[in-house]
Amino acid sequence: MTERAFTPALGRLAPVRFYDAVAALTRERLWRALVLAHVAPRPGAAIVDVGCGTGSLALRLAHVEPGARIVGVDPDPDVLAVARRKAAAAGAAVDWRVGMGDALEDVVGAGSADVVVSSLVLHQCPMAMKRAVLASAHAALAPGGRLVIADYGWQRTRAMRLAFRAVQLADGVEHTRPNADGALPGLIAAAGFADVREAEVVRTVTGSISVYVARRGAAGASGSVPA
């Protein structure tokens, strides 16, 4: 893929420096807290944040469990620069890596993660990339590892679909429509995950954000991300 073969954090809407301010409008504190509850980080766990953006979720994970090993992966050097500054200011230890979400085996190693987490990424991706990112997340997880995704999901009501139009304006109707139509659980299952479920739904001014959880295969020994 080319260096710019990804949608920037705010799509066509605004430069990356405004991302955190815009994200705050999505009831970010609530849905990120729900993600943290489902990740339940523990000491020694290897947690990979795919499409980590400006690092908000990765930094919260590091704050909740300093003994976990947090790796933030994003293809955009500009957002990673913001993430590094935020981590330095917070005194948080996060391993930031430049990489695409469909190449996690190369970036962190196959079977190396206990948890793969992602927030507000898949709705921006073409269908083929959605599938590729989920397949790569499955490959990156150790047996028994967990997937936790927060993203725009099924927009159940007319009001939520109308609100979601702002996201579609920024990120494109073609890429976002499958999410709005409820495609994510099926795509997660098709990538090989078991016990797929929509665990939470949070209504926001830009549409509803769902938290999906799933696991890879049978329980097994936890992995560790190589240095």
Three-state SS annotation for the chain = CCCCCCCCCCCCCCCHHHHHHHHHHHCHHHHHHHHHHHHCCCCCCEEEEECCCCCHHHHHHHHHCCCCEEEEEECCHHHHHHHHHHHHHHCCCCEEEECCCCCHHHHCCCCCEEEEEEECCHHHCCHHHHHHHHHHHHHHEEEEEEEEEEEECCCCCHHHHHHHHHHHHHHCHHHHHHHHCCCHHHHHHHCCCEEEEEEEEEEEECEEEEEEEEECCCCCCCCCCCC
Q: How much is the pLDDT for 217?
A: 85
pTM: 0.87
Q: How much is the pLDDT for 83?
A: 96
Instruction: Give the torsion through C-alpha atoms of 98, 121, 95, 61, to 10 deg.
Output: 170
Other CB atoms within a 10 A radius of the CB of residue 181 amount to: 12
CATH assignment of 16-215, given 3.40.50.720, 3.40.50.300, 1.10.3720.10, 3.40.50.150? 3.40.50.150
Strand 113-119, strand 46-50: pairing:
parallel
Q: How much is the pLDDT for 225?
A: 55
Residue type, 20: D
pLDDT tens, the chain, 227 aa long: 334 455 554 445 545 655 556 666 677 889 999 999 999 999 999 999 999 999 999 999 999 999 999 999 999 998 999 999 999 999 999 999 999 999 999 999 999 999 999 999 999 999 999 999 999 999 999 999 999 999 999 999 999 999 999 999 988 999 999 999 999 999 999 999 999 999 999 999 999 999 999 999 874 334 445 55
Q: How much is the pLDDT for 171?
A: 86
Q: How much is the pLDDT for 170?
A: 83
Q: How much is the pLDDT for 18?
A: 56
